[in-house]
Amino acid sequence: MRQGAYQTDYHVHTGRCGHAGGEMREYVLAALARGLAEIAFTDHIPLYFLPGEDPDPTIAMTRAELPDYVEEVRVLEEEFAGRIDVLLGLEADYAEGHEAALEEILRVHDWDVVLGSVHWVAGGWIDAPGSAKRHGTEGSENLWREYYRLLAKAARSGLFDVLTHFDLPKKFGHRMPADVTDAEDAAVAAARDAGVAIEVSSAGLRKAVGEEYPAPPLLRKLVGAGVPIVFSSDAHAPAEVAWGREKIEAAAHAAGAGEHLSFRKRKRRRHPF
Ligand SMILES: [Zn+2]
Ligand SMILES: [Zn+2]
């Protein structure tokens, strides 16, 4: 990391999602140790679009846990004030047809940043353990096309500040078929028109695909279209906070980006890097 640069991590999970480890305080301490100016907790929103109070304890916190999550972030924000800014964020699933329910949940708390994610595609998870086989059974092209259709709708919904892992279906190594380029372009245009930011995430480097999100040519397209970026790790353990930062910064630089965003109460600031 460059000396003096304004460093942030805008995508960090907690044990509440059922698939991350470590205490929230450890994440903040890791961020401090790495010289970050900010860390945004963005745990998974309760699965508001699936039936039941706790549809999948390995994917997200329950509705009942959400206020505790918010409170714990606020306690850490106070404890670390003056040393590192701890932000209240959320990784919110976009679920077609459930926009009003999402809006209602978002209205309850005073978020610093809301990430918009498409994980639920054509009636199932696109990225959960076991999802890889869907590319064979349902056709990779169908999944990619449907994914980008939903991502474009998520951008246009106006519910989100930042779209996450823009090319998520590649997670297990299934690259986008060339025929789907038009759908990818439509999602890029939707992000540009909506004025929503995207994340440059090191998480893909830790997955089978072995590449940051978004892929270099796609990131070039997004930056070229004027879509702003945030930096993120999608950490699911304290050791992953700011993980791969040099690589994603280099990727953003190569794509032509010269600044990244931070958020307070959903209002953006720009920082050169
Ligand atoms: Zn995600
Ligand atoms: Zn995440």
Residue 58 near residue 18 (C-beta atoms within 8 A):
yes
* pLDDT tier for residue 17 given thresholds of 50, 70 and 90: confident
How many angstroms separate the alpha carbon of residue 234 from the centre of ligand 2? 5
CA of 7 to the centre of ligand 1 (A): 21
Q: How far is the CA of 163 from the centre of ligand 1 (A)?
A: 10
Percent of the chain with pLDDT over 90: 91
Contact 222, 184 (CB under 8 A): no
CA of 17 relative to ligand 2 center, distance in Å: 10
Residue 240 tokens, joined: 């992953």
Flag whether pLDDT at 55 surpasses 70: yes
Q: What is the pLDDT of residues 139-193, one digit of tens each?
A: 999 999 999 999 999 999 999 999 999 999 999 999 999 999 999 999 999 999 9
Predicted pLDDT at 1: 46
Residue pLDDT, tens place only, 88-108: 999 999 999 999 999 999 999
pLDDT band at 5 (very low <50, low <70, confident <90, very high): confident
Q: Which residues fall within 8 angstroms of residue 269, CB to CB, at 6 or more apart?
A: 261, 262, 263
- Spell out the CATH class of 8-272: alpha beta
DSSP letters, 68-82, are HHHHHHHHHHHHTTT
- Answer yes or no: is pLDDT of 38 > 70: yes
Q: Where are the alpha helices (DSSP H) in 109-244?
A: 134, 140-157, 181-194, 216-224
Instruction: Output the pLDDT for position 134.
Output: 98
Domain assignments of the chain as residue spans, ordered by start:
8-272
Ligand 1 mean position, distance from CA 93 (Å) = 8
Q: Find the 80 Cα to ligand 1 centroid distance in Å.
A: 26
Radius of gyration of the chain (CA): 17
pLDDT in tens, 111-144: 999 999 999 999 999 999 899 999 999 999 999 9
Task: For strands 162-163 and 197-201, give the pairing.
Answer: parallel
Stated as kind and residue range, the H or E segment containing 104 is helix 99-108
Residues 79 and 140: their CA atoms lie apart, in Å, by 47
Under 8 Å between Cβ of 187 and 166: yes
Per-state percent for the chain, helix, strand, coil, to nearest 5? 40, 20, 40
What does the alpha-carbon distance between residue 158 and residue 164 come to, in Å, rounded to a whole number? Answer: 14
Residue 229 near residue 257, CB atoms below 8 Å: yes
Residue 231 near residue 263, CB atoms below 8 Å:
no
3: pLDDT strictly greater than 60: no
- pLDDT of the residue at 207: 95
Which of 8-22, 38-52, 131-145 shows the lowest mean pLDDT across its residues?
8-22
**pLDDT given for residue 266 in this prediction:** 98
User: Which among 76, 79, 114, 71 is positioned nearest to 93, based on CA atoms?
Assistant: 114
Neighbours of ion ligand 2 (CB under 5 A): 91, 234
CA geometry: angle 179, 185, 186, nearest 5 deg:
110
| Mean pLDDT over the full length of the chain | 96
Please report which ligand is nearest the Cα atom of 164.
Answer: 1
Higher per-residue confidence, 59 vs 133: 133
Q: What is the pTM of this model?
A: 0.97
What pLDDT, in 10s, does the model give residues 222-232?
999 999 999 99
Position 58 scores a pLDDT of: 87
